[in-house]
């Protein structure tokens, strides 16, 4: 039936019987970045009251899980990913009572709540760090990574940092504490010191905190950069500047890439297995854990998500969101579709018999997918948003929808550097200027890649602040909200929102979508992304035109017009796939 191509549904291992498969194989998760979701008190910052007010939107969409980005007390240096109290709610966001109310409301609607677990680091204002910093003899000194300057060098002298590692947010990964003359490690901002997981007391404190949240009724955790918790600090430098060469030197910087010493470090599996035993084992109920893992390989992901090893249920990998990066994320390259196919194809095959994929385009750290992978011109924005959604949701794995993605929200038209708020963007601009880079080129990259693109307020309606706040929004609302908003889409069966609802319902209803084997077709084709999903006698063909060039379906499938259409993103399906058209066909 498939022209030019034999349809091999490769034997990718045993497929679980639909009824035996874990509940999250049929689930779709929705990420709320609370600061930008819905404000309820007019201070311009989203909050828990706002989340509670918008639950109908989630019910209507049909999602199963809400992942809530951090709402804990925090100085907000990294918008809550710098936590100063793991067992409370920042007054900015509301109260613990409201969090309890949210748990009850979600459960009442048949949804689950994932909290964000940020335990690679705390805030420098967390009492643990305050105590640790207070003196080299403090009982909590060893809860963080303190090191003297390099041998023979004075504290604070250029290059005296214990290793030459660069932090993820620019500058050295070590900051000097003047009082003790020692440095502390922070793989992210200086306000995010890394916890020392080698210390069993740290691990026990984290486990106790996690149990406290589960006892309160939360259903699991999204674990922030969890593959960075085990570090090998035996005097290593990153590439180019030390005796051990861990990776390529960083462009325009005297700092090195130390990631070989802390990505999937020596004890990470042991730590996650221990966490599973101490926190999750023996608990009843449908729980979910997803580990955010920059740089994770397929081989490692198989280990992390092998149910027999009891570590985590799934991971967020980063390969596909790195395909348009050159030497760094700010060195933006065009995406080649065949690279994306090859990458997704490898992950589908690699986790086919053991483990599980999570599927995402957008989150609070990524620019908007419709602008990045799709075509956000007025003509093709709706079609490319729905095409990308179809492509992703028909893969095998658990899809994650980031707030606003279901509305086709696009990148913000940022102007100058003052328009950016995210510390990653602001730090990068500052360092690039010190390095003598061209400000216009740096700004151009920020406009495309800045995390602020994902963080503008959700566009609920066409009113001046898009229904997000009655005050002044902390980050401006995208002016396109007059056209692109939830209210306008709710009553439109052709909207991006309506299409997401159909995709989510399809995953719930059709075991092939949840569990079918994946086979990539047309691996070399730059304009068409096609694959099959097969389970027992059922086979779906997914074919997506990811370009503006029409594609004759007969080139792939001789009897396309006789094949039942399960779902498509454009009306009046004919023999040609129009620009950004996506179809799901039932082959048998
Ligand atoms: C993760 C979060 C990101 C945060 C970083 C440090 O990558 O998703 O938002 O800045 O970790 O916590």
Residues making up the chain, counted from first to last: 588
Atom from ligand 1 closest to the CA of residue 120: 12
Q: Which of 68, 72, 81, 424 to mutate to test the pocket of ligand 1 (most atoms within 8 A of CB)?
A: 81
Atom from ligand 1 closest to the CA of residue 82: 12
Token pair 């060039």 is found at 549
Atom from ligand 1 closest to the CA of residue 169: 10
Q: Whose CA is nearest to atom 12 of ligand 1?
A: 81
Same domain? 351 vs 221? yes
Does some domain include residue 7? no
Token pair 């002044």 is found at 472
Answer whether 469's CB lies under 8 Å from 47's CB: no
How many angstroms separate the alpha carbon of residue 577 from the centre of ligand 1? Answer: 39
- From CA 211, how far away is CA 199, in angstroms rounded? 19
Atom from ligand 1 closest to the CA of residue 294: 7
Does some domain include residue 15? no
Same domain? 81 vs 157? no
**Domain end position, chosen among 496, 525, 544:** 496
Same domain? 369 vs 489? yes
pLDDT at 252: 65
How are beta strands 146-147 and 182-185 bridged, if at all?
antiparallel
Catalytic residue positions, numbered: 224, 292
Does some domain include residue 552? no
**Domain end position, chosen among 454, 471, 496:** 496
Does some domain include residue 278? no
- From CA 257, how far away is CA 253, in angstroms rounded? 10
Q: DSSP letters of 28-88?
A: -EEEE-GGGT--SSSSSS--HHHHHHTHHHHHHHT-SEEEEPP-SS---TTTTSS-S-TTS
- From CA 459, how far away is CA 451, in angstroms rounded? 17
Answer whether 337's CB lies under 8 Å from 526's CB: yes
pTM of the model: 0.95
Answer whether 290's CB lies under 8 Å from 315's CB: yes
Does some domain include residue 265? no
Handedness of CA 158, 162, 165, 168 (dihedral sign): negative
Same domain? 164 vs 303? no
How are beta strands 517-521 and 528-535 bridged, if at all?
antiparallel
pLDDT at 10: 36
Same domain? 118 vs 132? no
Q: Whose CA is nearest to atom 5 of ligand 1?
A: 81
How many angstroms separate the alpha carbon of residue 292 from the centre of ligand 1? Answer: 9
- From CA 240, how far away is CA 522, in angstroms rounded? 41
How many angstroms separate the alpha carbon of residue 168 from the centre of ligand 1? Answer: 9
Same domain? 102 vs 163? no
Number of domains in the chain: 2
Show the DSSP H helices in 217-312 as ranges: 268-275, 298-305
Does some domain include residue 250? no
CATH of the domain at 141: 3.90.400.10
Atom from ligand 1 closest to the CA of residue 118: 12
Same domain? 41 vs 162? no
Same domain? 38 vs 168? no
How many angstroms separate the alpha carbon of residue 78 from the centre of ligand 1? Answer: 8
Q: Which domain holds residue 141?
A: 127-185
* Ligand 1 first shell, C-beta below 6 A: 78, 81, 118, 188, 224-225, 292, 364-365
**240 secondary structure, DSSP code:** T
Does some domain include residue 586? no
Q: Is 141 helix (H, G, I), strand (E, B) or coil?
A: helix
How many CB atoms sit inside 10 A of residue 195's CB?
23
Q: Whose CA is nearest to atom 2 of ligand 1?
A: 224
Does some domain include residue 210? yes
How many angstroms separate the alpha carbon of residue 254 from the centre of ligand 1? Answer: 24
Q: Whose CA is nearest to atom 7 of ligand 1?
A: 225
Token pair 């097969």 is found at 534
Q: Which of 68, 78, 115, 262 to mutate to test the pocket of ligand 1 (most atoms within 8 A of CB)?
A: 78
Answer whether 303's CB lies under 8 Å from 312's CB: no
Atom from ligand 1 closest to the CA of residue 451: 9
**Which residues are CB-neighbours of 582 under 8 A, at least 6 positions away?**
386, 387, 390, 391, 542, 543, 544, 545, 568, 569
pLDDT at 291: 98
CATH of the domain at 439: 3.20.20.80
How many angstroms separate the alpha carbon of residue 388 from the centre of ligand 1? Answer: 25
Give the residue from 566, 571, 588, 569 showing the smallest Cα distance to 580: 569
- From CA 38, how far away is CA 468, in angstroms rounded? 5
Distances (CA, A) of 138 to 135, 141, 143, 198, 339: 5, 5, 10, 17, 51
Same domain? 167 vs 295? no
- Helix axes 298-305 and 337-350, enclosed angle (nearest 10): 40
How many angstroms separate the alpha carbon of residue 191 from the centre of ligand 1? Answer: 13
**Domain end position, chosen among 496, 513, 543:** 496
Same domain? 58 vs 179? no
How many angstroms separate the alpha carbon of residue 99 from the centre of ligand 1? Answer: 22
- From CA 151, how far away is CA 407, in angstroms rounded? 56
- From CA 450, how far away is CA 329, in angstroms rounded? 9
Atom from ligand 1 closest to the CA of residue 365: 9
Q: Is 452 helix (H, G, I), strand (E, B) or coil?
A: helix
**Which residues are CB-neighbours of 351 under 8 A, at least 6 positions away?**
298, 301, 302, 305, 357, 397
Same domain? 176 vs 204? no
How many angstroms separate the alpha carbon of residue 81 from the centre of ligand 1? Answer: 6
pLDDT at 16: 54
Per-residue pLDDT of the chain (588 residues; tens, 9 = 90+): 565 444 433 333 445 577 789 999 999 999 999 999 999 999 999 999 999 999 999 999 999 999 999 999 999 999 999 999 999 999 999 999 999 999 999 999 999 999 999 999 999 999 999 999 999 999 999 999 999 999 899 999 998 999 999 999 989 999 999 999 999 999 999 999 999 999 999 999 999 999 999 999 999 999 999 999 999 987 666 644 443 334 455 666 788 999 999 999 999 999 999 999 999 999 988 999 999 999 999 999 999 999 999 999 999 999 999 999 998 999 999 999 999 999 999 999 999 999 999 999 999 999 999 999 999 999 999 999 999 999 999 999 999 999 999 999 999 999 999 999 999 999 999 999 999 999 999 999 999 999 999 999 999 999 999 999 999 999 999 999 999 999 999 999 999 999 999 999 999 999 999 999 999 999 999 999 999 999 999 999 999 999 999 999 999 988 877 899 999 999 999 999 999 999 999 998
Same domain? 221 vs 96? yes
């Amino acid at each position: 039936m498939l022209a030019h191509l034999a349809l091999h549904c490769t034997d990718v291992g045993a497929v679980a019987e639909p009824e035996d498969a874990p509940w999250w194989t049929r689930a779709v998760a929705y990420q709320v970045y609370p600061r930008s979701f819905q404000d309820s008190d007019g201070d311009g910052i989203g909050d828990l009251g706002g989340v509670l007010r918008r639950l109908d939107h989630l019910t209507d969409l049909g999602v199963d899980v809400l992942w809530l980005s951090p709402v804990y007390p925090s100085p907000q240096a990294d918008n809550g990913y710098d936590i100063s109290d793991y067992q409370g709610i920042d007054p900015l966001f509301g109260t613990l009572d409201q969090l309890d109310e949210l748990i009850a409301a979600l459960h009442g609607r048949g949804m689950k709540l994932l909290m964000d677990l940020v335990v690679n680091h705390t805030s420098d204002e967390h009492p643990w760090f305050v105590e640790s910093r207070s003196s080299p003899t403090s009982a909590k000194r060893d809860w963080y990574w303190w090191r003297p300057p390099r041998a023979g060098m004075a504290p604070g002298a250029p290059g005296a940092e214990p290793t030459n590692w660069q932090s993820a947010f620019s500058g050295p990964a070590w900051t000097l504490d003047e009082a003790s003359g020692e440095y502390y490690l922070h793989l992210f901002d200086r306000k995010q010191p890394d916890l020392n997981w080698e210390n069993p007391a740290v691990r026990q404190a984290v486990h106790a905190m996690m149990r406290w949240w589960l006892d309160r009724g939360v259903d699991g955790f999204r674990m922030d950069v969890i593959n960075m918790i085990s570090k090998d600090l035996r005097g290593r430098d990153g590439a180019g500047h030390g005796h051990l060469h861990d990776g390529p030197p960083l462009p325009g910087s005297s700092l090195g890439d130390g990631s070989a010493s802390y990505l999937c470090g020596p004890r990470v599996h042991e730590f996650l297995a221990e966490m599973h035993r101490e926190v999750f084992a023996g608990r009843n109920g449908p729980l979910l854990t997803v580990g955010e893992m920059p740089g994770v390989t397929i081989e490692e992901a198989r280990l992390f998500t092998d149910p027999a090893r009891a570590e985590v249920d799934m991971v967020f990998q980063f390969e596909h969101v790195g395909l348009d990066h050159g030497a760094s994320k700010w060195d933006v390259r065009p995406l080649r579709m065949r690279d994306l196919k090859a990458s997704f194809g490898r992950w589908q095959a690699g986790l086919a018999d053991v483990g599980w994929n999570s599927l995402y385009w957008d989150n609070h750290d990524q620019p908007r997918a419709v602008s990045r992978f799709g075509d956000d011109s007025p003509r093709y924005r709706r079609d490319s948003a729905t095409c990308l959604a179809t492509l992703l949701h028909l893969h095998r794995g658990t899809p994650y929808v980031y707030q606003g993605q279901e509305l086709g929200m696009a990148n913000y038209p940022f102007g100058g550097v003052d328009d950016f708020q995210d510390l990653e963007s602001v730090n990068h601009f500052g360092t690039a200027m010190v390095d003598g880079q061209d400000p216009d080129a740096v700004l151009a990259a920020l406009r495309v890649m800045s995390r602020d693109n994902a963080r503008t307020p959700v566009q609920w309606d066409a009113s001046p602040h898009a229904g997000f706040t009655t005050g002044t929004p902390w980050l401006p609302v995208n002016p396109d909200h007059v056209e692109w908003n939830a209210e306008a889409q709710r009553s439109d069966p052709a909207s991006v929102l309506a299409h997401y609802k159909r995709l989510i319902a399809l995953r719930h209803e059709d075991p092939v979508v949840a569990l079918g084997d994946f086979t990539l077709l047309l691996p070399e084709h730059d304009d068409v992304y096609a694959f099959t999903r097969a389970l027992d006698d059922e086979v779906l063909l997914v074919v997506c035109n990811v370009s503006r060039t029409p594609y004759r379906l007969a080139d792939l499938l001789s009897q396309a017009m006789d094949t039942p259409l399960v779902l498509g993103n454009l009306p009046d399906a004919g023999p040609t796939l129009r620009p950004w058209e996506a179809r799901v066909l039932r082959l048998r």
